[in-house]
Each structure stands twice: as structure tokens, then as C-alpha cells.
Amino acid sequence: MIDKLFVLLNDITDSDVGDIVENIGIEDNKAYRTKPEKCPSCFKKSMAAIEVLGAFDKSLLWQCLKCGDRFLRLSRTKTVKLLEDKGVIKRVIVTPDKHAPIHDIAAINVVKKAIEIVKPDAYIDLGDLGEWASVSHWQWKRKKMPPLEYIIPRIDKDVIGVNALLDSIDESLDKVNCTEKYLCGGNHDEWCNMFVDQHPYLPQYKFENAVNLKERGYDYYPADLEPKKWLKIGKLHYYHGHHKSGMHHAKAHLALGANIMYGHHHGLQQASVTHIDGPKSAWSLGCLKDMSPEKNRWLGGKAINWAHAFAVVDYFRGGLFTVHIVQIINGKTSLWGELIDGNK
């Protein structure tokens, strides 16, 4: 049996005017996120996915191969937005490493105000949400690890600090009704999971549990995922950034053969290459942590190439996109002609 149909919009519409969902023969407003086992109309086990070429690079509709009825996969509003050619069909705000509780307060304030200005359809956190010094394997590298009764209060303090930051960001997202949220785990976040691997009777300290990702409505992509399972929206992949290194890490990421945005390295870089199937680019998005020497004593006072920034990604039909890097200087930036001062 056919599992998937690839069609052009003109192939399944009977009119260029009126309601586009009605024009493709959909009468049921219910959205079926996963393929129905049986057709909701004729109850036959003959359902196939429909991908509308040039509108969405995933299955957008379901169709019964017996009776021909079609059904929504996404909400009616989202389906109309994807099918109607109105320029930007999805706008995403992407933020890099925060390392709470040593995040840069002014930079975070800028991001919060930007969320309220941009009103994104989706929000992506690129990981290292927390510093997680309490479970860092580095601090005990040359020391004997103390007993749990010493470590647990320190972890609890970190958990409170990281959740406070995420509460603050979620508050801004809630104001603009942004419920599509993703978090790509970072290597610091993974330290929580390593701690639980050593102490499996303390599952509350697994990263996703410690920051209540499920309850907050985030889709979680752990740091240890293989590349083909990384978050992908349209033609752009997102992950933390720990698979490639070196001075020219953006160029190194081009070896993955795909468009990719990442954090981890704390600096701003972009590299591009043209393949036979078109151009590919990699973006390193900087960070949002406190960059002062006092908060980064492990650097020994060395000069750094770090920068505060976030990205606004606009998507168009067919998964195409543009990336707008917004750099934050001394807690200030400009966005869409408006000055944002995070110090106030």
C-alpha cells in the first residue's frame, strides 16, 4: 500500500478563491497529529500521508486511498498559513548558552523584550541552559568527590537558579502565546544526566526532570543524539555545537553537509559553501552568559572571542529561510528599528 503521496497544491484544489482548506476537500476540522489507523469516514485501513511540495517539507495532510477523503495533520490555522503564500510563514527566536546562574542579566532582558516585539511562532534554546557547577566533573578531577549530603544542597541551589531563569523566559513566551518550544541539550546540561547515571536512585536530577521540560511544554533533544536525529525545521538543523571544534568551527560544521545553527563555542561565526544541490551555511550563535573575568576564572584572564547574541529565523514556503543575527553590545541592541536596553 502507498504510504505517502507527493502533490502540488494545484493538484488537490478545485478553486483559487475562498477557503483554501475547504478547496482541498477537508470538512473535518479535527487535526490528527499521527496517521489514523483507520479512515475517520469509511473506517478502512487505507490512510496515506500527503506532502504538498513547496509548502511544507513534511506530511501536511492525510488521505484515505479508498474513499478519497482528506484530513488535517496540523491545526486548521497552521495549515492555512502553510498553504497560503504570504511571505514569512514561521518566525523563530533562537538563543544560545546561558549558563544560569551566571547568565548575563542585561542580555537576557534584551532577549525577553525581543520576544515581546517579534512575537515568534517558535522558540529554540541551543543548550547549556545551566552552568551546573555542582555536578561538573571538572571540579573533582584532582580531588576526592565529597559525600552526597554535601553535594545535594549545591545541586538543589543550581536547580532553583536554572528554573528561575527559564521561568523568566517562559513568562515572555506566554505573553505572546508562543507554545512551540524546543531545547537542544548541551554538554553542561548532560552533566546532570551523568550524575544520575552514577546515582540512579536520584532521577529527579536528570536534566529534563530538574527543569521540568515536559511540564513546560518543551520538545527536548538530548545532547547525545546522533546528527540525523537533531532538531530540524525546514532546511535548517539545530543542535548544541559540541560535535566540531577548532578555531574555524563554523567551517568545520560544513562537513556535516547541511545548514546548521549551534552554540557551545560562545563566539559568532558563519561559514558557507555551495554544494551541487545548493548553498549550505553554518552559524555559531555566541552566548548569553556573564563574560566577565570574575565569572570565568578558569580562563586565567585570557582574551576571548565571545559575544552576546541571538537569532531571528524567518521561514518561507518549501522550508527556505533567512537568518538574522542580533548582537547585543553592553546589554543593548536594536531590532526592527527599536532600541532595546536590557540594563533598564
- Contact present, 291 and 313 (Cβ < 8 Å): no
**What confidence tens digit (pLDDT) does each residue in 311-340 have?**
999 998 778 899 999 999 999 999 999 999
Write down the pTM of the prediction.
0.78
Cis peptide, bond prior to residue 293, ω within 30 of zero: no
**What confidence tens digit (pLDDT) does each residue in 185-233 have?**
999 999 999 999 999 999 999 999 999 999 999 999 999 999 999 999 9
* pLDDT at residue 54 tops 90: no
* pLDDT at residue 18 tops 90: no
**What confidence tens digit (pLDDT) does each residue in 221-272 have?**
999 999 999 999 999 999 999 999 999 999 999 999 999 999 999 999 999 9
Q: Where are the extended beta strands (E) located within the chain?
A: 4-7, 47-52, 61-64, 70-72, 90-95, 122-125, 180-184, 218-221, 231-233, 236-238, 260-262, 268-275, 278-285, 308-315, 321-328, 332-335, 338-341
* pLDDT at residue 141 tops 90: no
Using DSSP's 3-state secondary structure scheme, residue 6 falls into strand
Q: Which of 234, 276, 273, 233 is nearest to 256 (CA)?
A: 273
* pLDDT at residue 5 tops 90: no
**What confidence tens digit (pLDDT) does each residue in 65-97 have?**
999 999 999 999 888 888 876 578 889 999 999
CATH 3.60.21.10 domain position(s) in the chain: 90-341
Other Cβ atoms within 10 Å of 169 Cβ, number = 21
Q: What is the rounded average pLDDT for all residues in the chain?
A: 92
pLDDT score for 314: 94
- What's the CATH class of domain 90-341? alpha beta
The confidence band for 16, taking pLDDT boundaries of 50, 70 and 90, is low
pLDDT score for 17: 64
- Contact present, 187 and 135 (Cβ < 8 Å): no
